[in-house]
């Protein structure tokens, strides 16, 4: 089911990753503006291909597994790769399901994150019948906070006391959305 996901919005197509997306992922994960807000570091093209292989393998996992389902976002008009959106376990607490999105910085401010994430949330709640999602965001990431709030997420607090390996998340804003 997940491996065949295809969501269309007014301007976007949300689809599973393919092996041909390695360069797209590489470009996004080497954008300094993007890296300020996500727990990744710049990668090589080989690492991008390995990441794509891992993301594709996750499509075979069921909802009871520890999964990360990430999907490519592209424009309908030109098929340009914009970034990704997805959902899966929250890195520092696998019992929670997180929604996330990342766009190449050249596509920021065009409404694509809201449009893609709204379609994905509707799919998660209506088709997969999950009842709750969480989102975390850096306090200075004003645009992503706005997207999360437009989707109806409620601010619940600040991430604190996470294990050292997840220190990137310390101090992030924590939001929830229930169906």
What angle, rounded to 10 degrees, do the helices at 142-150 and 112-126 form? 40
Q: Could you identify the residue written with the tokens 């999360």? A: 148
pTM of the model: 0.92
Domains and CATH numbers, the chain: 2-130 (3.40.630.30)
Residue 153 is predicted with a pLDDT of 98
Question: What is the model's pLDDT at position 15?
Answer: 97
**Sorting pLDDT into bands at 50, 70 and 90, what band is 88?**
very high
Structure tokens that stand for 9 in this block: 């919005």
CA distance 6 to 17: 11
């Amino acid at each position: 089911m997940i491996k065949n996901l295809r969501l269309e919005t007014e301007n976007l197509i949300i689809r599973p990753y393919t092996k041909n997306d390695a360069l797209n992922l590489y470009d996004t994960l080497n954008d300094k503006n993007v890296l300020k807000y996500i727990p990744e570091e710049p990668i090589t093209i080989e690492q991008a291909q390995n990441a794509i292989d891992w993301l594709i393998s996750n499509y075979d996992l069921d909802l009871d597994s520890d999964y990360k389902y990430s999907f490519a976002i592209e424009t309908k008009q030109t098929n340009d790769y914009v970034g990704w959106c997805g959902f899966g376990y929250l890195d520092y607490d696998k019992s929670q399901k997180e929604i996330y999105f990342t766009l190449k910085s050249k596509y920021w401010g065009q409404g694509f994150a809201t449009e893609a994430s709204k379609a994905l949330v509707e799919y998660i709640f209506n088709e997969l019948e999950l009842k709750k999602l969480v989102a975390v965001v850096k306090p200075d990431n004003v645009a992503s906070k706005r997207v999360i709030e437009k989707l109806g997420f409620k601010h619940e607090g600040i991430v604190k006391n996470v294990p050292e390996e997840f220190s990137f998340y310390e101090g992030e804003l924590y939001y929830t959305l229930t169906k």
